[in-house]
C-alpha cells in the first residue's frame, strides 16, 4: 500500500509540479482565459499515454525497453527546453514588474497558445507512458487485490494536493517575489528533468557511463522513503547519480541560474538616474 | 495554429516515437523451453525466483510479480552490466511484464532490486542458441545481405560458365588451354568459398585435396584432381569423367546458392574466413601444389572478403567510423602488394616467390585480417 | 568503463603487495653468500610508470619473452600509425603489468560474436612482477627521418660474428620479463596482435633462468656453462654508477633520450656439447672464476675483488678481458637470460645465452668490450654470436605519457 502510494506520489509530483507553476503564472499575470489550454495539454498527454498503452495491450505488443527509455528520456530533454523558456518568461516578467511598467507586462511575456498547450502536455506526457503502464498493472491486479490501485490513487491525490498547495503558496507571494522565487525553483526542477532524461538515455545505451557514479547516497536517502520520493518527485533527485548526470545538472544550473539572476541591461536608459531595483 | 492541430501533432509524434522506437510482438511470448508462456519471476523483499533460468535466443518475456512489501525493479543485464531490459516501479502486490530482445546466446544476469537500491538479488540467466531473424529488424543489414547475395549469384554464374570452358578443354584433350583456364575458373569459386563451404558436402567434392581424409569409397575429385592430371600425371582415362563430375557439382552449387539465406553475421565471418584461407592455404603454396597458381586464388579470396566487407560497410560506418578507414587502408596496402606480382593476364607462380615475398604477404594479410575480425562483433552488437 | 572485469584477478591491497621498489630491500634482506634467496611473491606488481622504464634495474625476473618488430606501415601514414599504436600499446602494457587483461572486456566478457580483446592465457594468473620495456631501433629513426643519436649507430662487425639477419635488428623492441613465462608470453602476444597492419614480428626470443643479478638482494645465477654470471654487474642500489654508466644524460646528444638507456641484445649460441667435454680446470681457467663458488681464481669469496695482477687469472680469461679495469673503466648493466630453442637438427641443442645489456653509449662501452673479447677470449671457441640488435630505450613515463612520446613529439 505505502510503496504503491509513494510511486503514485512521485509520478504525480513529477507531472503536476510544472503544471501548477504554469497555472500560477497565468493567474498571476491575469490570463485566466488561457487556463483551458493548460487543461487541454494535460488532457491530451493523459489521453495519448493511455491510448498508446491501450493499443499496445490490445495488440499484445510491448514496447521494447530501449524505446521506452528513449521515449521518456527524449521527451524529458524536450521538456527542459520548454521549461527553460518559461524560466526566462519569469525573468522578463520580474524585470517588467520592477520597472512598474505593468502595461508592458502583457506584451513582454505574451506566449503563444500553442506553447501553453505543448508545455503542459510535455510536463505530463514525459512520465505519462510509464504512469499509464503502471496504472494498468494496478488495475489488472485489482481482480485479486485492490491494495496497489488504491495506494496508487492515494499517492496521485496527495501529489495533486501538494501541487495545489504550491500553487496557493506561489499566489500568496507578491508579484515580484513570485517571479523570482518560482523562476529559481524552476531552474532546479528543469535541471532535475534534464539529468533524469540523461539517465534514461544512459539506460537505453544511447549515452555512455551508466555505471560511472558521481555519488551514491542510497543508504542515507533510500529511494523508497517518503523524503526520497519527495526529492525525486520535485527535483528528480536520484540517490545514485552518474557522473554525466551530475555534470549536465551542474552545467545547466550554473548557466541558467546565472543568466536568470544577472542584472538586466536596458536597451532604453531609465529616465531617472536611480539604478533599477533588482527584484532578487 | 490552434489547439486542435497541436493535439493532433502531439498524438502523431507520440505514435511516431513508439513506432520508431520499435515494438516487439509478444503475441507468442517465448518462455522456458517446453513451457509455453512467459517466465514468471516471483519477487519479494528477499528473493527473486525465476520459473526458468534459461530461454532460447530471441524475444524473451518475463512476468514479474512483487509479493514483497517494498517497491522493486527487475533487470536483465548483458556483459559488463549493459541493461538489456528493465522494469521499474513494481509496487507491492503488482505484476508487471517485461519483454527483451536477446538475439545472441550466452550468459546473462537477472536481478530484482527490492527498495530500488544496490545491485539487487542477482542470478545468472542462460540464453541458448542464436536468433537468426535479427535481419528483419535492421534495414541496413538486410540491404547488406541482399547486396552480397547478388554478388554470390553473379559469381556463381561466371563460375559455371568458366568451369564449362575449362572442362570442355579437358574433354577435348587440349592441355594448354585447360591449364590456362584452370586458375581463371577457380577465381569465381575462391571468391565465394565461405558460401560454398556452408553446404558441407559440396566443398570436398569440388575443392578437396588428394591427402584429405575421405569416407571409404569416396574418390578424389574436383579441381585439384584435374590439376594433378594437367600438371603432373598427364590426362588420365577418367579425366573427362572427372571433368563432367566437376561440372555437375558446380551446377549443384549454383542451384543451392539461390536458396541459402545468409545472416549478416555469417557474412562478416565469411570475410574473415576468406583471409584465413589466404594465410593457411595460399601464402603457403598448399592449395595449388601442382600448378602453383596460388596467387590467382589469393587475389580471389581477397576480392571475396572485400565484397563482403563492402556490403556491410554502411553498417560498419554507422557503428564504428574508424574501422572503415582502417579497412580501406589495409586492403589498399594488400592490393598494392599483390599488383607487384602480376604477370600478363595473371600472376607469378608460387615457385617464383622468395621467402621475403611470402613474408611481406603474410604481414599484409595479418594487417587486413585483424580489422576484418572486428567486423562480426560490430555487426552483432 | 565499469571496474567490473577490469582485473583478471583480485589485486592485492597496498599492504602485503610485494611491490618491487628499487632500492628498498625486499623483505628477507640479503646476506652475502646466503644460500636461500627469498622468492618474490607471485602477485608482485612492478609499477609501470616512473623516472626510468621498469625492467632495467628492476631485480631481474626469472623469465623473458623478447620481441623485435619491424614497422610495416609505409608512406605518409607511417608516423601517425606508429603514434596510434604506441598509445594503444602503452594503455595495454600498463593494464597487463598491473595484472589486468590487455583491454577492458578482455577474454570472455564481451560480445560473443567478436574475437576477444584479450587472448586469455593469463586469466587467473597473477601479475608475476611483469615488466614491459620498450625500445626503438635506429632503422625506425631512419624511416621517420629523425637523425640517429651517435650512440644508436649500428654495431660494427666483430670477429667471429655469425649473425643471421633474420635474428638481428628491428624497428622496435619490447622486453617482457616476469616470474611466470606464461605471463610474459601473454603480454608480448597481445601487443604483437595489436600491431598487425602497423608492425610485424621480426624475431623473438624466449629466455629463462636470469643469468645476471641486478640487485644486491639477488643471488647470482648461473649461465648454461654452469658458471655464475654477473657477479660484478652494476647494481640497482649503486645509483652513482648507474648515472655514470647506464642512464643517458641530456647533454649526451639526444634530448629525447635523457634518462633513457641503450639496450644491446646479442643472441649467443653456446656449444654446450663441446663445453661439457672440457675439463673443469680448463673451464675455470678460461672463465677466470671457480665453478663452485664463483670466486675469482685464487679467492674464496664470490664477491672478492678481481686481482688482475694475479697470475692465476690467465691473460685471455674471460673475466680479465671483460673487466672494467682492462677496458678503461667501462661497465655495463647486464640482464641476460639462458635459452634453449629446441635443437639444431644436427643432433645438438640450440642453446645459449641471450645477452641483454643496458648502457649509456654502446659505441663507447659495448663495442670496445666485445671487440676485445672477440679477438682474445678463449671462450669464443665455445660460443658464436648469431643475433644482434641495438635499441634506444627512452626514459620512464610520467602520468599520461605514452611509449616513445619524447621521440615522436620532440
- Residue B109 sits at the chain C interface (C-beta within 8 Å): no
Cell of A208: 555512455
Q: Which residue has the higher pLDDT, B279 or B242?
A: B242
Give the least confident one: A101-105, B317-321, C229-233. Answer: A101-105
Number of domains in chain C: 1
Distance from CA of A1 to the nearest CA of B (A): 7
Contacts of A137 in chain B (CB under 8 A): 90, 94-96
Q: Give yes or no for C193 touching B (CB within 8 A).
A: yes
Does the distance separating the beta carbons of B380 and C72 come in below 8 Å?
A: no
pLDDT < 50 stretches in chain C: 1-38
Closest chain B residue to A133, measured at CA: B96
Nearest by CB: B377 against C2, C109, C114: C114
**C48 to chain B, minimum CA–CA distance in Å?**
26
Q: Is C114–B371 a contact, with Cβ atoms under 8 angstroms apart?
A: no
Chain B: closest CA distance from residue A65 (Å): 5
End-to-end Cα separation, chain C, in angstroms: 32
The SS3 of residue C107 is coil
- In chain A, the residue whose alpha carbon lies closest to the alpha carbon of B12 is A48
Determine, for residues B11 and A51 on separate chains, whether the beta-carbon distance falls below 8 Å: yes
Q: Name all domains of chain B by residue range, CATH numbers in brackets.
A: 39-131 (2.60.40.1930), 136-380 (1.20.1420.20)
Among the residue ranges B24-33, B122-131, B316-325, the one predicted with the least confidence is B24-33
Q: What is the pLDDT of residues B94-142, one digit of tens each?
A: 888 888 878 777 788 899 988 877 788 888 888 877 665 444 447 888 8
Residues in chain A whose Cβ is within 8 Å of chain C: 211-212
Residues 222-281 of B with CB under 8 A from C: 265, 268
3-class SS of residue A242: strand
DSSP codes of every residue in C191-237: HHHHHBTTEEEEEEEEEES-S---STTSPPPB-TTS-B--TT---TT
Neighbouring chains to A with at least 3 Cβ pairs closer than 8 Å:
B, C
C350, part of any domain = yes
The sign of the dihedral angle between the CA atoms of B29, B33, B34, B39 is negative
Chain B residues in contact with A4 (beta carbon < 8 A): 71, 91-94
Cβ-Cβ contacts under 8 Å, B364 against chain C? 72
Which residues of chain C neighbour B370 with C-beta distances below 8 Å? 193, 196-197
Q: What is the pLDDT of residue B6?
A: 44
Percent of residues, chain B, with pLDDT higher than 90:
38
Which residues of chain A are within 8 Å of residue C105 when distances are taken between CB atoms?
none
Question: The domain containing residue C332 runs over which residues?
Answer: 63-106+116-409
Which is nearest to A167 in space by CA: A182, A180, A188, A186?
A182
A274 close to A98: Cβ distance less than 8 angstroms: no
* CA terminus-to-terminus distance, chain A: 43
* Chain C residues lying within 8 Å of B378, measured CB to CB: 114
CB-CB neighbors (< 8 A) of C4 in chain A: 211
Tens digit of each residue's pLDDT (9 = 90 or more) over B229-269: 999 999 999 999 999 999 999 999 998 887 777 888 888 88
Count CB pairs under 8 A between chains A and C: 4
Contacts of C84 in chain B (CB under 8 A): none
Instruction: Pull the grid cell for residue C135.
Output: 625500445
Lowest-pLDDT choice from B77-81, B321-325, C50-54, C200-204: B77-81
Closest by alpha carbon to C168, among C184, C157, C182? C157
pLDDT class of A59 with cuts at 50, 70, 90: low
Q: In C, which residues are within 8 Å of B337 by CB distance?
A: none
Residue C101 lies in a domain: yes
β-partners of residue B86 are: B75
The residue that leads in pLDDT, A74 or C28, is A74
What's C73's DSSP letter? -
Contact A1 B89 (CB under 8 A): no
What's the pLDDT at C5?
36
CA distance B110 to B101: 14
- The pLDDT, as a whole number, for residue C28 is 31
Q: Looking at the partner chain, which of B10, B24, B27 has a beta carbon nearest the beta carbon of A64?
A: B24
pLDDT of residue C395: 96
Residues B259, B238: Cα–Cα separation, whole Å: 32
On whether residue C195 sits in a domain, the answer given is yes
> Which pLDDT belongs to residue C90?
97
Contact indicator for A120, A42 with CB cutoff of 8 Å: yes
Confidence (pLDDT) at B135: 42
A270: contact with B, CB 8 A cutoff: no
Min Cα–Cα distance to chain B from A137, Å = 6
The three-class DSSP label of residue C179 is coil
Q: Is C111 on the interface with A (CB under 8 A)?
A: no
Distance between CA B79 and CA B62 in Å, rounded? 19
State the Cα–Cα distance between residues A93 and A88, nearest whole angstrom. 8
Q: pLDDT band for position A98 (50/70/90)? A: low
Q: What interhelical angle do B355-380 and B321-339 show, nearest 10?
A: 160
Q: What is the average pLDDT value for chain A, to the nearest integer?
A: 78
Of C109, C115, C200, the CB nearest to B366: C200
Task: Measure the CA–CA gap between B331 and B325, rounded to whole angstroms.
Answer: 10
Q: Collapsing DSSP states into helix, strand and coil, what is residue C390?
A: strand
Interface probe for B, chosen from A65, A69, A212 (most Cβ of B below 10 Å), is A65
Is 70 exceeded by the pLDDT of residue A44? yes
Residues A176-193 pLDDT 10s = 778 788 888 888 888 888
**Which residue(s) pair with B347 in the sheet?**
B342
Give the C-alpha separation, B278 to B282, whole Å. Answer: 5
**A–B interface: beta-carbon pairs under 8 A:** 149
> Is the model's pLDDT at B211 over the cut of 70?
yes
> Is C398 buried (19+), middle (13-18) or exposed (0-12) by CB count in 10 A?
exposed
Closest Cα partner for B41 from B60, B63, B19? B63
Report if residue C341 sits inside a domain.
yes
- Residue-level pLDDT at C35: 37
Q: How confident is the model at residue B353 (pLDDT cuts 50, 70, 90)?
A: very high
Q: How many helices (H) and strands (E) does chain A have?
A: 9, 3
Residue C256 lies in a domain: yes
- Give a yes or no: residue C18 inside a domain: no
Other chains touching C, judged by 3 or more CB pairs under 8 Å: A, B
Task: Give the rounded percent of residues in chain B with a pLDDT score beyond 70.
Answer: 88
Cα dist from B1 to A75, A112, A118, B325, whole Å: 21, 9, 12, 48
- A111 — pLDDT class (breaks 50, 70, 90): low
Residue C20 lies in a domain: no
Average pLDDT over chain B, rounded to an integer: 84
Q: How far apart are CA B207 and CA B5, in angstroms?
A: 67
**Higher-scoring residue by pLDDT: B248, A268:** B248
Dihedral of the alpha carbons of C396, C402, C406, C410, in degrees to the nearest 10: -170
* Residue A60, all three cell numbers: 499484445
Q: How far is CA B135 from the centre of its chain?
A: 12
Residue B362, min C-alpha distance to chain C (Å): 9
CA distance B354 to chain C (A): 14
Interface test with A, best of B45, B83, B91 (most A CBs within 10 A): B91
Is B100's Cβ below 8 Å from some Cβ in C?
no
At residue C57, the 3 state secondary structure works out as coil
Residues of B in contact with C72 (CB under 8 A): 363-364, 367
Q: With contact defined as beta carbons under 8 Å apart, do B99 and B89 qualify?
A: no
User: Does any domain span residue C79?
Assistant: yes
Question: What are the chain A neighbours of B27 within 8 Å (beta carbons)?
Answer: 60-61
Burial B176-199 (b: 16+ CB within 10 A, else e): eebbebbbbbbbbbbbbbbbbeee
Residues of chain C with C-beta less than 8 angstroms from the C-beta of A212: 1-2
CA distances from B197 to B142, B216, B255, C374 (A): 22, 21, 14, 59
Put simply, the answer to whether A66 touches B21 (Cβ < 8 Å) is: yes
Q: Quick check: C77 contacting B, CB < 8 Å?
A: yes
**Residue pair C188/C67 in contact by the 8 Å Cβ criterion:** yes
Which grid coordinates are listed for A25?
A: 503564472
Q: Note the pLDDT of residue C20.
A: 36
Phi-psi map region of C397: left, alpha, beta (phi>0 left; psi -120 to 50 alpha) = beta
Amino acid at each position: 500500500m505505502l510503496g504503491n502510494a509513494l510511486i503514485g506520489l512521485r509520478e504525480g509530483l513529477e507531472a503536476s509540479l510544472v503544471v501548477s507553476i504554469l497555472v500560477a503564472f497565468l493567474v498571476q499575470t491575469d490570463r485566466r482565459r488561457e487556463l483551458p489550454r493548460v487543461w487541454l495539454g494535460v488532457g491530451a498527454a493523459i489521453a495519448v499515454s493511455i491510448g498508446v498503452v491501450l493499443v499496445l495491450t490490445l495488440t499484445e505488443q510491448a514496447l521494447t525497453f530501449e524505446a521506452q527509455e528513449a521515449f521518456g528520456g527524449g521527451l524529458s530533454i524536450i521538456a527542459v527546453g520548454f521549461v527553460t523558456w518559461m524560466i526566462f518568461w519569469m525573468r522578463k516578467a520580474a524585470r517588467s514588474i520592477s520597472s512598474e511598467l505593468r502595461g508592458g507586462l502583457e506584451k513582454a511575456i505574451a506566449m503563444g497558445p500553442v506553447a501553453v498547450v505543448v508545455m503542459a502536455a510535455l510536463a505530463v506526457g514525459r512520465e505519462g507512458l510509464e504512469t499509464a503502464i503502471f496504472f494498468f498493472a494496478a488495475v489488472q491486479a485489482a481482480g485479486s487485490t485492490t491494495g496497489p490501485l488504491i495506494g496508487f490513487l492515494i499517492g496521485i491525490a496527495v501529489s495533486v494536493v501538494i501541487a495545489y498547495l504550491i500553487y496557493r503558496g506561489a499566489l500568496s507571494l507578491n508579484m515580484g517575489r513570485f517571479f523570482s522565487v518560482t523562476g529559481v525553483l524552476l531552474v532546479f526542477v528543469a535541471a532535475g528533468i534534464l539529468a533524469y532524461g540523461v539517465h534514461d538515455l544512459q539506460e537505453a545505451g544511447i549515452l555512455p557511463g551508466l555505471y560511472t557514479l558521481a555519488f551514491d547516497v542510497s543508504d542515507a536517502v533510500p529511494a523508497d522513503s517518503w523524503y526520497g520520493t519527495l526529492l525525486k518527485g520535485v527535483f528528480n533527485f536520484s540517490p545514485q547519480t552518474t557522473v554525466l548526470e551530475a555534470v549536465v545538472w551542474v552545467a545547466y544550473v550554473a548557466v541558467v541560474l546565472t543568466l536568470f539572476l544577472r542584472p538586466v541591461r536596458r536597451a532604453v536608459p531609465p529616465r531617472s538616474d536611480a539604478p533599477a531595483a533588482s527584484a532578487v | 495554429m490552434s489547439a486542435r492541430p497541436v493535439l493532433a501533432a502531439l498524438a502523431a509524434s507520440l505514435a511516431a516515437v513508439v513506432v520508431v522506437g520499435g515494438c516487439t510482438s509478444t503475441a507468442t511470448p517465448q518462455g522456458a523451453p517446453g513451457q509455453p508462456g512467459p517466465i514468471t519471476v516471483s519477487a519479494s523483499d528477499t528473493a527473486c525466483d525465476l520459473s526458468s533460468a534459461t530461454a532460447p535466443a530471441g524475444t524473451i518475456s518475463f512476468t514479474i510479480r512483487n509479493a514483497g512489501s517494498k517497491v522493486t525493479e527487475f533487470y536483465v543485464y548483458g556483459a559488463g552490466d549493459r541493461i538489456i531490459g528493465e522494469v521499474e516501479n513494481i509496487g507491492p502486490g503488482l505484476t508487471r511484464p517485461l519483454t527483451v530482445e536477446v538475439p545472441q546466446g550466452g550468459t546473462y544476469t537477472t536481478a530484482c532490486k527490492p527498495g530500488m537500491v544496490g545491485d539487487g538479488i542477482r542470478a545468472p540467466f542462460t540464453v541458448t542458441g542464436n536468433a537468426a531473424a535479427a535481419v528483419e529488424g535492421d534495414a541496413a543489414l538486410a540491404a547488406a545481405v541482399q547486396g552480397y547475395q547478388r554478388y554470390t549469384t553473379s559469381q556463381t554464374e561466371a563460375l559455371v560458365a568458366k568451369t564449362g570452358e575449362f572442362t570442355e578443354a579437358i574433354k577435348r584433350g587440349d592441355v594448354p588451354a585447360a591449364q590456362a583456364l584452370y586458375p581463371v575458373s577457380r577465381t569465381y569459386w575462391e571468391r565465394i568459398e565461405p558460401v560454398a563451404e556452408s553446404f558441407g558436402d559440396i566443398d570436398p567434392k569440388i575443392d578437396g585435396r588428394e591427402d584429405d581424409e575421405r569416407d571409404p569409397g569416396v574418390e578424389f575429385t574436383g579441381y585439384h584432381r584435374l590439376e594433378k592430371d594437367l600438371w603432373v600425371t598427364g590426362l588420365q582415362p577418367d579425366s573427362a569423367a572427372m571433368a563432367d563430375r566437376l561440372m555437375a557439382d558446380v551446377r549443384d552449387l549454383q542451384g543451392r546458392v539461390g536458396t541459402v539465406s545468409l545472416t549478416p553475421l555469417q557474412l562478416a565471418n565469411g570475410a574473415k574466413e576468406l583471409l584465413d584461407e589466404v594465410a593457411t592455404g595460399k601464402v603457403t603454396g598448399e592449395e595449388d601444389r601442382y600448378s602453383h597458381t596460388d596467387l590467382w586464388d589469393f587475389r580471389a579470396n581477397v576480392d571475396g572478403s572485400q565484397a563482403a566487407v563492402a556490403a556491410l560497410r554502411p553498417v560498419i560506418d554507422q557503428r564504428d567510423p574508424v574501422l572503415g578507414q582502417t579497412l580501406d587502408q589495409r586492403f589498399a596496402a594488400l592490393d598494392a602488394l599483390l599488383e607487384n606480382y602480376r604477370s600478363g593476364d595473371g600472376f607469378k607462380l608460387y615457385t617464383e616467390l622468395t621467402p621475403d615475398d611470402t613474408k611481406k604477404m603474410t604481414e599484409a594479410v595479418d594487417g587486413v585480417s585483424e580489422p576484418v575480425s572486428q567486423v562480426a562483433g560490430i555487426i552483432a552488437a | 568503463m565499469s571496474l567490473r572485469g577490469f582485473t583478471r584477478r583480485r589485486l592485492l591491497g597496498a599492504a602485503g603487495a610485494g611491490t618491487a621498489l628499487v632500492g628498498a630491500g625486499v623483505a628477507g634482506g640479503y646476506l652475502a653468500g646466503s644460500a636461500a634467496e627469498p622468492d618474490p611473491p607471485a602477485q608482485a606488481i612492478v609499477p609501470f610508470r616512473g623516472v626510468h622504464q621498469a625492467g632495467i634495474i628492476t631485480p631481474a625476473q626469472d623469465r623473458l619473452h623478447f620481441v623485435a618488430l619491424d614497422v610495416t606501415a609505409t608512406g605518409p601514414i607511417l608516423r601517425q600509425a606508429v603514434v596510434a599504436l604506441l598509445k594503444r600499446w602503452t594503455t595495454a602494457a600498463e593494464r597487463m603489468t598491473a595484472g589486468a587483461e590487455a583491454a577492458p572486456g578482455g577474454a570472455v566478457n564481451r560480445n560473443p560474436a567478436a574475437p576477444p580483446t584479450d587472448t586469455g592465457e593469463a586469466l587467473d594468473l597473477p601479475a608475476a612482477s611483469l615488466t614491459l620495456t620498450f625500445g626503438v631501433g635506429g632503422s625506425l629513426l631512419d624511416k621517420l627521418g629523425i637523425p640517429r643519436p651517435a650512440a644508436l649507430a649500428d654495431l660494427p662487425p666483430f670477429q667471429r660474428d655469425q649473425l643471421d639477419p633474420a635474428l638481428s635488428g628491428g624497428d622496435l623492441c619490447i622486453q617482457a620479463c616476469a616470474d611466470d613465462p606464461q605471463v610474459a608470453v601473454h603480454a608480448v602476444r597481445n601487443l604483437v596482435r595489436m600491431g598487425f597492419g602497423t608492425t610485424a614480428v621480426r624475431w623473438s626470443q624466449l629466455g629463462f633462468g636470469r643469468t645476471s643479478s641486478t640487485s644486491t638482494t639477488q643471488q647470482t645465477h648461473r649461465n648454461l656453462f654452469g658458471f655464475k654470471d654477473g657477479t660484478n654487474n652494476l647494481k640497482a642500489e649503486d645509483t652513482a654508477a648507474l648515472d655514470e654508466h647506464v642512464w643517458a644524460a641530456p647533454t649526451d646528444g639526444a634530448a629525447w633520450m635523457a634518462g633513457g638507456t641503450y639496450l644491446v641484445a646479442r643472441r649467443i649460441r653456446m656449444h654446450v656439447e663441446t663445453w661439457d667435454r672440457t675439463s673443469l680446470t680448463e673451464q675455470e681457467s678460461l672463465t677466470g672464476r671457480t665453478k663452485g663458488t664463483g670466486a675469482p681464481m685464487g679467492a674464496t669469496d664470490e664477491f672478492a675483488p678481481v686481482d688482475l695482477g694475479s697470475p692465476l687469472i690467465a691473460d685471455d680469461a674471460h673475466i680479465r678481458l671483460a673487466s672494467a679495469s682492462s677496458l678503461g673503466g667501462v661497465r655495463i648493466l647486464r640482464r641476460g637470460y639462458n635459452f634453449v630453442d629446441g635443437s639444431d637438427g644436427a643432433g645438438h641443442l640450440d642453446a645459449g645465452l641471450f645477452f641483454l645489456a643496458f648502457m649509456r653509449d654502446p659505441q663507447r662501452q659495448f663495442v670496445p668490450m666485445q671487440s676485445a673479447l672477440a679477438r682474445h677470449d678463449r671462450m669464443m671457441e665455445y660460443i658464436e654470436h648469431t643475433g644482434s640488435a641495438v635499441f634506444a630505450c627512452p626514459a620512464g613515463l610520467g602520468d599520461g605519457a605514452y611509449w616513445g612520446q619524447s621521440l615522436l613529439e620532440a
